[in-house]
Structure 1
Amino acid sequence: MRISTQMLYQMSNTELTSMQGSILKLNQQISAGQKVLNPSDDPVASARALDLSQTQALNEQYVTNRKNANSSLAQVSSTLDSYTDMLTKIKSDVIKAGNASYTNSERVNLASELQGNLKEVLGYANATDGQGNYLFSGFKSTTQPFTLDGNGGVVYNGDQGQMSLQVDSTRQMDISASGQAIFQGGGQDVFKSMNDLISLLAVPVTEAANNADEQAANTFNYPVGSSPAQYPIQAYKDAQTALDAASPTDPNYNTLFSNAAALKLKSDAANAARTPVAGSQEALSRKLAQMGTAFSSMIDTVGTTTASVGARQSELDNLDAAGAVQKQNYQQTMNDLLGANTSDVSELVSDLTLKSTYLSAAQKVFVSTSSLTLLNYLK
């Protein structure tokens, strides 16, 4: 077979063009930082990489959702902390108001202060997030949850739902709390309790009421009617007076002591069973004690909700850590499939250097051979 000059040129040109194409592809791969640029380069790896990229996109969306969830929960937690501080302050005020040394004017001043505290609590109940949505109105996030009813009371306008976000492939998390459960749940309405406390402190304690209450207590009959058949509170006072008058060396001292102790139990039971006279220190102390217990219960309720919010925030931190590991795993697998690891790029650079050397040598050979002619050898 004869090889013509034209065929030699065509073969050399085709080979040089192919080598230049390979070098161009290598440059593109190095610029992109990976071997697989098109699905045709490795169909199986490209398909798996596409699936992984979709999974990774979902993982990134979960990251965004967790950030939003954490932001909402942080606002709920901050509001609940402020509300807890206020409840603690109110409970302290209840204890102070029960002090017999407090004057009527001091209690009135305290009631005036509590009026301002009531507005603060209403502000906590109607707190909003950064987008203006109410934190404690359930699914009705654009509806103000608590409003005044015109009679001094507060009504709830939200629902019992809780906003939620998908924070992981298998986890949907509540990012709010029930406003009614926090501020009016468990039979404890903080707004009503505060209004009742304010009204109670406005009632003056009078000496006449105290005297009337003491007389009523001394003549209050114990409902069981057991012996001795006399008024138990007065009976205890008489027994205690007799005990105080006796000497410890008196042979009847132990009997007097036992009698006074037994009557003390009946006296306490009788006193607890009666209704004190309105305006007396006893009436005030009893109602304040009941309110102190109510506010303690409210603090416990808020504490439970705060703990739940904190647990969810901690879970979000754990999910973030797990998501970061998943992201690294997905990226490493995609790098393996697409040849985007450092070792793969180094291999591409070496291949480019080698092929560039081949191309340079081939070009020199082509130039040398293309200039050959028989005329150079004719004498």
Structure 2
Amino acid sequence: MRISTSMVFTQGYTGIQGNQYTLNKLQEQLSTQKRVVVPSDDPVASAQMLEVSQSEGRNLQFVKNGDAVESSLAISETSLNSANGLLASLKELAIQAGNGGLATTQLKMIQTDVKERFNQLVSYANTSDSRGNYLYGGNAIDSPPFVADSSLNVTYTGDTGRRDVQISAERQVPITEVGSAVYGNASSDTAVFDTVRDFYNLLGQDPKPANFSTQLSSILSGLDAAQVNLSTVQASIGSRRSENETLQSVGQDLDVQYKTRLSNLDDLDLPKTISDFTLAQSALQYSQLTFQKVSGLSLFNYLS
């Protein structure tokens, strides 16, 4: 079999190219610390990594959503707890006002206190989250849901919807409340405020009306009902926080599993790759040296 000069040259050059490609590929892997630098390195693993990465991204978004949910619900629960405490203090003032021995001036002092608490209650009802979104206007989050005038009349400007946030593939939870359901009842969107306003107006009547005690009793009943309603909403929020915490924990565990799976698919076996890189360097150097010697051979080298 005759071996032409061009065949020797081609084979030698092809060998150098192959060894150079192998060396470059190993160098890329060492630089990136990744086994799969481009999809062609391992098409099957690359497809699996894409699927896992997408699942991990969705899961991380749910975890991020859960953080926002916890923040909003925690603020809302704290606000309702404060409002409930304020209603308890108003009940104490109502009981104090029921003391038949109090003079009109003393009742007006209580009235001043009631107005301060009324303003504070409106403030609680207009609580917003860390992003400035109002929590008790339903879907209407950009403006205060409760507006009070100088006569202590309150208007609810929110709607009857609630904003839901996805915290898992199967679960959404509301992070806002319908204010008319929290601070109102079946007959009025602002029942709690109506009760406090009536209390305020009653204390300002001079002389006291004959049915003062009857009206005061009705006000106490209204405050009791309002407390029960707020406590019910608090319990609902607490339940949602608990569920969100559980799903957050599941999401964090899933994140670890996804990262482990990606690591198994793509992490580099560093000692083996360094060894392969060293061998590839030697192979390239050997092929270059061999090609140099073979390509320099000529029949005239043997004639003297």
TM-score bracket, normalised by the shorter chain, equals: 0.7 to 0.9
AA of the residue aligned to 1:332: T
Match of 1:307 in 2: 235
Q: How has the CA–CA distance of structure 1 residues 101 and 151 changed in structure 2, closer, same or farther, with 3 Å as cutoff? A: closer
Give 1:1-379 correspondences, 5 Å limit. 1-148=1-148, 152-185=152-185, 189-203=191-205, 278-279=209-210, 283-337=211-265, 340-342=266-268, 344-367=269-292, 369=294
Shift of 1:4: 4.1
Identity %: 32
Q: Deviations over 1:21-53 (max 9, x none)?
A: 101011112222222233333333322322222
Q: How has the CA–CA distance of structure 1 residues 324 and 346 changed in structure 2, closer, same or farther, with 3 Å as cutoff? A: farther
Shift of 1:100: 4.2
Match of 1:273 in 2: none
User: Which shifted more, 157-166 or 35-44?
Assistant: 35-44
Match of 1:259 in 2: none
Return the index of the structure with the highest Cα Rg: 1
Let me know the Cα RMSD of the aligned residues.
2.7
Count of aligned positions: 302
Q: Deviations over 1:71-126 (max 9, x none)?
A: 22223223212212211211121222223454332221010111122122122222
Please list every run of 5 or more consecutive structure 2 residues that lacks an aligned counterpart in the other structure: none
- TM-score, reference length from structure 2: 0.86
Q: Taking CA–CA contacts closer than 8 Å with sequence separation of 6 or more, which of the two structures ends up with the larger relative contact order?
A: 2
Q: How has the CA–CA distance of structure 1 residues 320 and 346 changed in structure 2, closer, same or farther, with 3 Å as cutoff? A: farther
CA distance in structure 1 between the partners assigned to 2:140 and 2:38 by the alignment? 49
Please list every run of 5 or more consecutive structure 1 residues that lacks an aligned counterpart in the other structure: 207-277
Shift of 1:368: 5.0
User: Which shifted more, 289-298 or 321-330?
Assistant: 289-298
Q: Deviations over 1:337-374 (max 9, x none)?
A: 3xx225x3443222212222322333444455555666
CA distance in structure 1 between the partners assigned to 2:271 and 2:221 by the alignment? 74
CA distance in structure 2 between the partners assigned to 1:364 and 1:38 by the alignment? 31
Contact 2:139–2:176 (CA<8 Å) still a contact in 1?
Answer: no
Contact 1:34–1:345 (CA<8 Å) still a contact in 2?
Answer: no
CA distance in structure 2 between the partners assigned to 1:109 and 1:151 by the alignment? 17
SS in 2 for 1:168: coil
SS in 1 for 2:147: strand
AA of the residue aligned to 2:284: L
Q: Deviations over 1:231-290 (max 9, x none)?
A: xxxxxxxxxxxxxxxxxxxxxxxxxxxxxxxxxxxxxxxxxxxxxxx44xxx54444344
Shift of 1:5: 4.6
AA of the residue aligned to 1:137: G
- TM-score, reference length from structure 1: 0.71
